[in-house]
């Protein structure tokens, strides 16, 4: 039995190219964060940088999703690479013109202008991630999509591993200037490769010819989400989870840089990011099980436990092991959410729904980063440095530097909140509603020759089409699909008919008429 989903050559090229693009932008973004902290020793600066990154992702995601829906995915990816290349070149020229002392003076605008140029160049790359998620729907059979999403998580893990190692080494040995040069060259090479990739499975955007083609249409995307019972609950739960996760985003690097030299910290992040590869590989091999929403929530519970405990003592091995285990869970949680959206949202709306979800979810993390960084810098860490603070914290968090013990207190509280909210979500009506929505939208095994009934319908006999009440569905032999293309969408308001593979032919599914937005 195959251990990997049959993603095909086109998806493989897109996956690798997107991973390299993510490596390049993350490499430069991590390097900027390391460099900013080492030059300024300001937790506030790193918190603002991290928060601004997530804020820009949130503000741009709905627009990016609309661009993805209204254009061919390969064209979107190429445009993203061109934009990133231009912005990185501008950042390099700006860095070369501003004197070093002025660049690292936070009271002057030059550091912030430089950071924003790199920031926007990195943000544009997120449009490729939305496009890749929709490419899973286009290029991968429905029954294999959770495993394909696991491969995406594995690729992200490899990217994070290389990024973490290379960013620390590059800042430690080359400095910020040559780091910019390396990143710019890497973007240019990736763009050349992408220009050679062809995607014949998508001859035109899925939204072409629709009433909303060319519009952002937030209202229509919200209507599609609302039509899938429980999907809003999933998105807002993920948003709250990111709200808590913003604590780790803002403070994990300062904690690590207090414990390790920058070169060593880069190696530590690289080693622990093997967890991304392990977690994504396990999803690619075994899938997410029949209830991916439950898998997601249990994964978040485990993340909260780890996040609360991996800094209870200032032990390097505990921090490293804890980060590794935390990283193992991230691909599981992300693959579960993507798999649910790919099953219950129509293809022509997936870009905007993914963009909307990203906008809502990432909007939460900047709030935490902007709040917790100054609070930790101005109050929590000074408290940990005081005599009363040391006496109060030592029984719970052990001895250590004021910075590490103050951050450990924040991590402990954030992890416990994450556990509590995930357990409440498991007992909520929204969880049960989304589980039912997913079960209805998922067709049964093709080997059974059955079709998935819409709510209130009986299952159709083998070879017989299923239709939602009041809808006429054309015979399956009249549904045209491009060679190698999998056309599949589902929603809680429409049934999906499945043709059982015969005589070695590819599987095809029929897209039912979707509810108007």
Structural domains for the chain: 8-203+216-433 (1.20.1250.20), 460-517 (no CATH)
Is the distance from CB of 514 to CB of 347 less than 8 angstroms? no
Mean pLDDT of 472-489: 34
Mean pLDDT of 402-430: 93
With H, G, I as helix, E, B as strand and everything else as coil, classify residue 494: strand
- Give per-residue pLDDT as tens, 178-188: 999 999 999 99
- Give per-residue pLDDT as tens, 296-317: 999 999 999 999 999 999 999 9
Mean pLDDT of 347-356: 82
Identify which has the larger pLDDT, 130 or 514: 130
pLDDT band at 212; cut points 50, 70, 90: low
Position 206 scores a pLDDT of 67
Position 458 scores a pLDDT of 37
Position 491 scores a pLDDT of 29
Q: Give the closest residue to 50 by CA, choosing from 310, 371, 319, 272.
A: 371
Chain-centre distance for alpha carbon 320: 22
Is the distance from CB of 98 to CB of 114 less than 8 angstroms? yes
Mean pLDDT of 273-292: 88
At residue 99, does pLDDT exceed 90? Answer: no
pLDDT band at 91; cut points 50, 70, 90: very high
How many Å apart are CA 158 and CA 206, to the nearest integer?
A: 31
CA distances from 416 to 87, 91, 302, 326, 384 (A): 40, 40, 11, 14, 20
How many Å apart are CA 257 and CA 40, to the nearest integer?
A: 13
Phi, psi dihedral angles at 326 (to 5 degrees): -60, -45
| Percentage of residues of the chain with pLDDT beyond 90 | 26
Identify which has the larger pLDDT, 346 or 292: 292
| Percentage of residues of the chain with pLDDT beyond 70 | 79
How many Å apart are CA 122 and CA 296, to the nearest integer?
A: 27
Relative to beta strand 509-510, strand 497-498 is antiparallel
Position 211 scores a pLDDT of 58
- Give per-residue pLDDT as tens, 365-385: 667 767 887 888 888 989 998
H/E stretch holding 510: strand 509-510
At residue 103, does pLDDT exceed 90? Answer: no
Tally of CB atoms within 10 A around 456: 7
CA distances from 219 to 84, 222, 223, 226, 255 (A): 30, 5, 6, 10, 42
How many Å apart are CA 28 and CA 22, to the nearest integer?
A: 10
């Amino acid at each position: 039995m195959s251990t990997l989903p049959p993603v095909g050559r086109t998806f493989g090229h897109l996956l690798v190219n997107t991973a390299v693009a993510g490596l390049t932008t993350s490499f430069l973004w991590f390097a900027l964060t390391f460099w900013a902290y080492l030059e300024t020793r300001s937790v506030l600066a790193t918190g603002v940088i991290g928060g601004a990154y997530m804020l820009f992702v949130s503000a741009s995601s709905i627009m990016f999703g609309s661009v993805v829906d209204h254009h061919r995915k390969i064209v979107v990816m190429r445009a993203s690479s061109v934009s990133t290349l231009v912005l990185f070149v501008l950042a390099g020229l700006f860095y070369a013109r501003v004197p070093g002392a002025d660049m690292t003076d936070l009271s002057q605008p030059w550091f912030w202008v430089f950071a924003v140029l790199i920031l926007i160049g990195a943000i544009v790359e997120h449009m490729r991630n939305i496009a890749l998620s929709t490419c899973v729907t286009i290029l991968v059979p429905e029954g294999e999509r959770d495993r394909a999403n696991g491969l995406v998580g594995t690729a992200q893990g490899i990217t994070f591993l290389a990024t973490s190692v290379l960013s620390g080494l590059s800042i430690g040995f080359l400095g910020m200037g040559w780091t910019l040069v390396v990143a710019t060259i890497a973007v240019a090479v990736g763009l050349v490769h992408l220009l050679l990739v062809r995607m014949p499975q998508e001859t035109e955007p899925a939204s072409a010819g629709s009433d909303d083609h060319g519009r952002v249409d937030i209202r229509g995307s919200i209507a599609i989400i609302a039509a899938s019972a429980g999907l809003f609950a999933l998105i807002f739960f993920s948003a709250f989870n990111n709200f808590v996760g913003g604590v780790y985003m803002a403070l994990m690097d300062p904690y690590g840089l207090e414990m390790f030299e920058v070169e060593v910290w880069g190696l530590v992040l690289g080693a622990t990011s093997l967890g991304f590869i392990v977690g994504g590989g396990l999803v690619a091999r075994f899938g997410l099980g029949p209830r991916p929403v439950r898998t997601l929530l249990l994964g978040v519970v485990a993340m909260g436990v780890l996040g609360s405990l991996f800094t209870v003592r200032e032990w390097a091995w505990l921090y490293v092991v804890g980060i590794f285990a935390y990283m193992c869970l991230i691909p599981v949680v992300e693959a579960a959410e993507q798999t649910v959206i790919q099953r219950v949202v129509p293809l022509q709306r997936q870009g905007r729904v993914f963009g909307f979800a990203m906008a809502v979810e990432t909007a939460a993390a900047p709030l935490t980063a902007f709040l917790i960084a100054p609070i930790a810098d101005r109050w929590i860490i000074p408290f940990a440095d005081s005599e009363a603070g040391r006496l109060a914290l030592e029984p719970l968090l052990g001895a250590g530097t004021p910075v590490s013990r103050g951050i450990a207190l924040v991590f402990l509280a954030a992890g416990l909140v994450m556990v509590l909210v995930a357990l409440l979500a498991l007992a909520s009506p929204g969880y049960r509603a989304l589980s039912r929505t997913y079960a209805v939208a998922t067709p049964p095994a093709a080997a059974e020759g059955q079709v998935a009934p819409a709510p209130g319908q009986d299952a159709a006999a083998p070879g017989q089409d299923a239709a939602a009440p009041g809808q006429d569905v054309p015979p399956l032999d009249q549904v045209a699909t491009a060679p190698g293309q999998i056309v599949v969408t589902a929603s809680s308001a429409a049934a999906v008919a499945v043709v059982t593979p015969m005589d070695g032919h590819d599987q095809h599914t029929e897209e039912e008429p979707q509810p108007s937005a």
